[in-house]
Amino acid sequence: MGMTNTDDMSKISESLADAAQTAGQYVVTVLTGGPATVSGTVVADGQVLTAAHVLHGDEVKVRTADGRELSATVAGRDPSTDLALLRVEGLNLPAMTVSGGVRVGELLLAVGRPMHGLQVTLGLMERAAPPERGPMRGWLDAGAAPFRGVTGGALVDARGGLVGILNAGVSRGTLLAVPAARALRVADLLNTAGRVPRGYLGLATQPVHFPEERPEGEPEKQQAQAEAASEPNAGEPAAKERGGRGGPGPRQGSGRGERGGPMWDGRRDGRGWNGGWNGRGGPGWGGPQRGPNGFGRGGGRVGLTVVQVEAGSPAATAGLLVGDVLLALDGHSVRHPGELLERVRERAGETLTVRVLRGGQETDLAVLVGER
């Protein structure tokens, strides 16, 4: 038994070492022009992603795994993800292979190349997707200990596939990562345009919970049980409903709504419009009572109710109206304004399908995402 366990641990160790060496070929040292030395990750031949906040100019140098020191120029920076794209002459390295997906509980490696060479720490996939709200919205937690120079390095799976671009400067003591798909999308935009255009729809929304229709002829007892199940648990603030108990109206909150009130899907500066709509004391809806699979307690659904549409905006052009309930965007459910913002943030110029509930009927609308 002991020998079998030892053999298994040895195989795991060798597999992780192989993954580190594989990934390490695509992780470079970035000499920033200042006191800090960080890492960078090769995302295409001649292109390296690193952290924007550590760069002190538009001309830097990178040192490859085989010891070559090459000149690089900054093609563009994206403040939202703190990513910068470097163009490196003579790099002659292909892009790192992207992970096919990792499950919660899988081992991860944080791979960096500070001044002294390749360095790795072990992490764990702690959750299936980045948070949809809060200060870490859109970031993966690497589940690994940060070390000096790891920023800009690669978070990889046990096979050496890219999971994200690391950053130790976003949250003190926590090593985070921009998910690979988003990082590569940002790299493409920085390479072609030198910046990341911010997409917007031009509407203000609030989460809304509403019950699904019950089958005709359902016994009164079952209806009462279903309604009781949808009520808040003991100790939670009571929620009022428009149209009376059990009616089809959304639940009204305490007057503050999610973080205070309705939220616009994009600020004029490109980082999310939430000014007066996010202040306390507004007439906003309370947060949704969510159950499993995005449904509310008692089988209800959760969506985003449109409370205002900006005149002349992409949303107005597409035919979205105040009172519509957004159920999905491009095939993905939307249950919070921040989630909607993330889904359109880097999609400027693309046409997306919006599924809305209007007058009790679901319908699809095509909306061309605008650019701010």
**What whole-number distance in Å separates Cα of residue 287 and Cα of residue 259?**
9
Of the pLDDT bands very low, low, confident and very high (cuts 50, 70, 90), residue 56 is confident
**What whole-number distance in Å separates Cα of residue 176 and Cα of residue 339?**
19
Distances (CA, A) of 44 to 51, 99, 135, 269: 16, 15, 30, 30
Of the pLDDT bands very low, low, confident and very high (cuts 50, 70, 90), residue 267 is very low
Do 8 and 116 lie in one domain? The reply is yes
Do 60 and 181 lie in one domain? The reply is yes
In the chain, how many domains are there?
Answer: 2
Do 206 and 139 lie in one domain? The reply is no
Contacts of 360 (CB under 8 A, 6+ apart): none
Do 122 and 205 lie in one domain? The reply is no
CA torsion, points 210, 215, 218, 222, in degrees to nearest 10? -40
Q: Which domain holds residue 147?
A: 2-193
Residue 85 has pLDDT above 60, yes or no: yes
The CATH number of the domain holding residue 300 is: 2.30.42.10
Q: Across residues 44-65, what is the average pLDDT?
A: 94
**Average pLDDT of the chain to the nearest whole number:** 78
Do 330 and 315 lie in one domain? The reply is yes
- Eight-state DSSP code of residue 337: H
pLDDT of res. 211: 67
Do 239 and 119 lie in one domain? The reply is no
Least confident of 3-7, 93-97, 205-209, 223-227: 223-227
The CATH number of the domain holding residue 15 is: 2.40.10.120
**Residue 221: burial class (beta carbons within 10 Å; 0-12, 13-18, 19+):** exposed
Of the pLDDT bands very low, low, confident and very high (cuts 50, 70, 90), residue 338 is confident
Of the pLDDT bands very low, low, confident and very high (cuts 50, 70, 90), residue 246 is very low
Do 263 and 366 lie in one domain? The reply is yes
Domain stops at, among 167, 193, 219: 193
Distances (CA, A) of 338 to 11, 87, 259, 298, 366: 43, 32, 11, 25, 21
Do 177 and 302 lie in one domain? The reply is no
Least confident of 25-39, 76-90, 214-228, 343-357: 214-228
Residue 250 has pLDDT above 50, yes or no: no
Do 76 and 122 lie in one domain? The reply is yes
Q: Across residues 49-60, what is the average pLDDT?
A: 93
Beta bridge partners of 86: 48, 74
**What whole-number distance in Å separates Cα of residue 232 and Cα of residue 294?**
16
Do 58 and 141 lie in one domain? The reply is yes
Residue 40 has pLDDT above 70, yes or no: yes
Q: Which of 15, 97, 98, 23 is nearest to 65 (CA)?
A: 23
Do 221 and 357 lie in one domain? The reply is yes
Highest mean pLDDT among 195-204, 206-215, 231-240: 195-204
Query: pLDDT tens digits, residue range 124-142?
Result: 988 766 665 555 667 889 9
Residue 39 has pLDDT above 70, yes or no: yes
Express as a percent the part of the chain with pLDDT over 90: 51
Residue 224 has pLDDT above 60, yes or no: no
Do 224 and 180 lie in one domain? The reply is no
Query: pLDDT tens digits, residue range 358-370?
Result: 998 999 999 999 9
Domain stops at, among 193, 212, 242: 193
Higher pLDDT, 69 or 139: 69
Domain stops at, among 130, 159, 193: 193
